[in-house]
């Protein structure tokens, strides 16, 4: 099970980051060799100009070390991002002018 602090950080990341960058991050995490230390994994991830998202991702990678493999972390981020996208879609309100 993902610790609550890590889950909250993943939630924060998916709310801040662009979905295409998140997909690239998940792909890189899935392809990362095992075992790899946190600093090596962080260095191998795609860059972004969004410093909040980059720092959040680095914090997540450090927290997950020893708890989740990079593939499990990729799956966790991917599932959370998908759930968030579905929630956003359901929250859309259409305004109809008559």
Q: What is the pLDDT of residue 57?
A: 94
pLDDT in tens, the chain (98 residues): 778 899 999 999 999 999 999 999 999 999 988 888 888 899 999 999 999 999 999 999 999 998 889 999 999 999 999 999 888 888 776 666 76
pTM over 0.85: no
Which residues does 29 contact at the CB level (< 8 Å), separation at least 6? 41, 45, 70, 71, 73, 74, 77
Q: What is the pLDDT of residue 95?
A: 66
- The Cβ-side half-sphere exposure at 46, using a 13 Å CA radius, reads 18
Q: What is the pLDDT of residue 93?
A: 67
Instruction: Tokens for 70, please give them.
Output: 């990079």
Q: What is the pLDDT of residue 5?
A: 92
């Amino acid at each position: 099970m993902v610790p609550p602090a890590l889950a909250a950080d993943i939630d924060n990341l998916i709310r801040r980051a662009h979905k295409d960058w998140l997909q690239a991050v998940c792909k890189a995490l899935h392809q990362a060799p095992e075992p790899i230390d946190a600093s090596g994994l962080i260095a191998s991830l795609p860059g972004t100009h969004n410093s909040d998202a980059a720092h959040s991702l680095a914090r997540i990678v450090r927290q997950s070390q020893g708890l989740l493999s990079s593939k499990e972390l990729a799956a966790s981020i991917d599932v959370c991002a998908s759930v968030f996208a579905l929630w956003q879609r359901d929250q859309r309100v259409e305004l109809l002018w008559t």
